[in-house]
Amino acid sequence: MSDALAGLDEQQREAASALRGPVCVLAGAGSGKTRVITHRIAHGVDTGAYSPGRVMAVTFTAKAAGEMRGRLRALGVGGVAARTFHAAALAQLNYFWPQLAGDTAPTILSSKVRVLAQAADAIGVNPDPAVLRDVATRIEWRKITMRSIEQYALDRPEGVGSLSLDAIVALQQAYERLKDERRQLDFEDVLLACAGMLEAEPRVAAEVREQYRHFTVDEFQDVSPVQYRLLELWLGDRHDLCVVGDASQTIYSFAGADPRYLLDFASRFPDARVLRLERNYRSEANVVAAANELMRGRPGALELAAHRRTPDHPRPVLREYDDDAAEADGVAASIADQLAAGADPREIAVLYRANAQSAPLLAALARRGIAASVLGGPRYFDIPEVRQAVMALRGAAVAPTSGDLVADVRAVLRSLGLSEEPPAAGGPLRDAWEARAALLRLAEEAPAGTSMRAFTDDLQTRAKDQHEVATRTVTLSTLHAAKGLEWPHVHLVGLAEGLLPIAYATTFEQVDEERRLTYVGITRAERTLSLSWARGVGRYERQVSRFVKEIGTNTLDAARARARSPRRSPHAASPRGPAPSRAR
């Protein structure tokens, strides 16, 4: 057996051994799909079925692509093109454009809204920035679904704010003219231009198909029409394609994602092998049971089997609160109890539907001295304090050091302001302290004998691959941003009608997407899962989410008492929980 197949379970090994396409792997949450993808490629290279330079592994985020490259390196495989759709398309445009046009490729637009504002001036309209952002979103959807401006207008969408449909059409036309005059492409144009190039230039298509013979696409449920068209052009008349996805985790339909490409794969490729990964290695059995109940009977849903079965492990708990402030305070109190019991802040996440829900949660946590960070902020290595610290560490690496990596890193970070005691939670000073302290923990976790030069080289690799470093804080995140991540302890808040499902989800398809979003939230939890909702106040009183009712009482434990709002009970805001951590 190839070394790349060692350690895989029976389902994973079958998928990793299927080296010739078409192959469709239906991979449930926590089933090890990235492991299967990378081990499949490594197995293909080990057996001589693949040449690394002829493999393209496509995913949807630069972070996921970086993780894939890192895992392949750990398996001894280099030279595989692990990229996003956009990165692969842009690389091909930059390579072939000078040959075809005798000039450099157009530059990539940094902001649609800025150019839309200039286009609005050109046609004599003055919409506010929120309207321009909405129009930018419509442009993205139009291009992802491969519609022209004329086709968009025939759909008769509603106007936006003060702009009528005719004004939106005129604004989009002016936007495209400005881009053309400036030789610029926006993010979606990259895919369209690459597809157009491959369609129009048979020589280019032949060269790309000669270079890449074996394709793997992760998160295939999120493929959009333009991405699928580009994939078809890369493949040509060949079928050496492996796709991996989970229809139950389709949460980007609003952005053009179409799960039918995954669900109908066997119809499009009649000779396809369809394999399933249904063993969940992430979550306790009681969490998996709740997830299965929520998705039972939905198209393409997999019945997950839990690998983790701790005897007498508590079921997910459902808590009801009087209002949103009481819910935030109750969640903060539960987190304080978890920290006091020995949980690491990095093991805890609070997930919600909309960004606006984070403010009361941050305030409630700060009242208890619990540091929290909101996912979706600046990337770790883009934080100014981290950039400054990495530069200082690189400088120290070329000078004589003591040979004690931790002591040397601590000395550099102290010179930049890292104190023994952290500042109070809830402000920029604490955020900066946590960012620097995370670098010190990396030094503490480095293998014995690691030099300062090797440590800083590793930091550069992490930054390049967007390998984020977890600060020692509780994570707050929208459900969309949490996809692909996991935590031992998850608090899923706002499970009330109007919040989850969100109020503007009115059609069957929209509500179904909200259900899948809830499923993603539930399956982020490894050990404990807490669900909560708030009734609200007065005439705005809410009802518990229909998704809670669908999960049912067989898999949930309801809390007996409601927490009172901190606005009514001054004692609820008193500090609780452990003392803040120290930078050792």
Q: Which residue has the tokens 């989800």?
A: 505
**What number of other Cβ atoms are within 10 A of residue 48's Cβ?**
7
List the beta bridge partners of residue 275: 25
How do 273-277 and 305-308 pair as beta strands?
A: unpaired
Instruction: Fill in the DSSP letter of residue 79.
Output: -
Sequence letter at residue 272: A
CA distances from 488 to 283, 345, 491, 549 (A): 8, 10, 10, 25
Give a three-class secondary structure readout of 89-121: HHHHHHHHHHHHHCCCCCEECCCHHHHHHHHHH
Q: Which of 310, 366, 359 lies closest to 335 in space, CA to CA?
A: 366
> Which two three-digit tokens encode residue 193?
């231009």
Specify whether the CB–CB gap between 215 and 58 falls below 8 A.
yes
The C-alpha atoms of residue 151 and residue 154 are separated, in whole angstroms, by 5
DSSP state string for 109-177: PS-HHHHHHHHHHHHT----HHHHHHHHHHHHHHHHTT--HHHHHHT----BTTB-HHHHHHHHHHHHH
What's CA 494's distance to the chain center, in Å? Answer: 20
Q: Which of 566, 557, 559, 527 lies closest to 342 in space, CA to CA?
A: 527
3-state secondary structure of 389: helix
Q: Which residue has the tokens 């934080």?
A: 383
What is the phi/psi pair of residue 24, to 5°?
Answer: -120, 120
- b/e map of 63-79 (b: 16 or more CB within 10 Å)? bbbbbbbbbbeebebee
> Which two three-digit tokens encode residue 57?
């592994």
| Cα–Cα–Cα angle for 76, 79, 81, rounded to 5 degrees | 120
Give the helix, strand, coil percentages of the chain, each rounded to 5. 50, 15, 35
Cite the annotated binding site for ATP by residue number.
27-34
Cite the annotated binding site by residue number.
27-34
> Which two three-digit tokens encode residue 78?
């280099």
Kindly tell me the sign of the dihedral angle through the C-alpha atoms of 533, 293, 30, 520: negative
Helix residue spans in 403-477 (DSSP H): 405-415, 428-445, 452-464
- b/e map of 180-192 (b: 16 or more CB within 10 Å)? eeeeebbbbbbbb
